[in-house]
Amino acid sequence: MLVTLSPCQLVPRLLPAYNLNMAKPRQGTITGRLTCHPDGYGFVIPDDPSVAGDVFIPPKKMRNATHGDQVTVRLTDGRTPRRGRQARSSLEGEVVKVDARARDVLVGKVFHYKDDVYVAPLDPRYHYTIRLVDEMGDDLPEGHIVTVAILVQPGKREMPLGEVVEVLGEPG
């Protein structure tokens, strides 16, 4: 049945219908611990127990935060289609500030590229490669496993920098 409506005329809903979520974006920020996934997204477990559930952080909204960091998150009204564990998250947000870093040391594998030496972290939840700044890295064979102290944390435009603390040996 078609009904002609004049402008600004309200029509009551008579039948149940599916509503698109047109609510205003959730306001405010929360703090919590970031748990990263190897695929690039993460979840913030809120410090405040009154916040129900965790907060989903899409890969493009992670900023320079890494696994385990204490972060401040701005809640958004994003509703990215998700599956599995991600589907349980009712809130979505974006990292606005890293309050405290979880790591200043990590273990990784050495590789050489051009004139620089890098360490690829063995933990796939850490999404950055560390460039070594000490001369010791020049003598390390490709593929060796090392412990690296992070001197400069990843930033908006900065790659993390580190120095070798300990050579653990060959992989395997």
Q: Which residue, of 43, 65, 100, is where some domain finishes?
A: 100
More confident residue, 140 or 11: 140
The confidence band for 44, taking pLDDT boundaries of 50, 70 and 90, is: very high
Residue 12 lies in a domain: no
For residues 93 and 149, state if they share a domain.
Answer: no
Residue type, 129: T
Residue 138 contacts residue 151 (beta carbons within 8 Å):
no
Q: What angle do CA 145, 121, 130 make, to 5 degrees?
A: 100
Count of domains observed in the chain: 2
Residue 131 lies in a domain: yes
CB burial of 35-65 (b: ≥16 within 10 Å; e: otherwise) equals ebbeeebbbbebeeeebeebbbbbeebbebb
For residues 164 and 115, state if they share a domain.
Answer: yes
Q: Which residue, of 67, 84, 100, is where some domain finishes?
A: 100
The confidence band for 16, taking pLDDT boundaries of 50, 70 and 90, is: very low
Residue 73 lies in a domain: yes
Residue 171 Cα to chain centre, angstroms: 28
Q: Which residue, of 55, 84, 100, is where some domain finishes?
A: 100
Residue 147 lies in a domain: yes
Task: Answer positive or negative: Cα dihedral of 32, 72, 58, 104.
Answer: negative
More confident residue, 20 or 2: 2
Percent of the chain at pLDDT > 70 equals: 77
Find the domain containing 163 and state its range. Answer: 105-169
CA distance 83 to 86: 6
Residue 122 contacts residue 156 (beta carbons within 8 Å):
no
**CATH number of the domain residue 96 falls in:** 2.40.50.140
For residues 37 and 84, state if they share a domain.
Answer: yes
The confidence band for 82, taking pLDDT boundaries of 50, 70 and 90, is: low
**CATH number of the domain residue 134 falls in:** 2.40.50.700
pLDDT at 138 over 50: yes
Question: What's the mean per-residue pLDDT of the chain?
Answer: 81
Work out the average pLDDT over 47-52: 85
Q: Is 84 helix (H, G, I), strand (E, B) or coil?
A: helix
Is 0.85 surpassed by the pTM of this model? no
pLDDT at 85 over 80: no
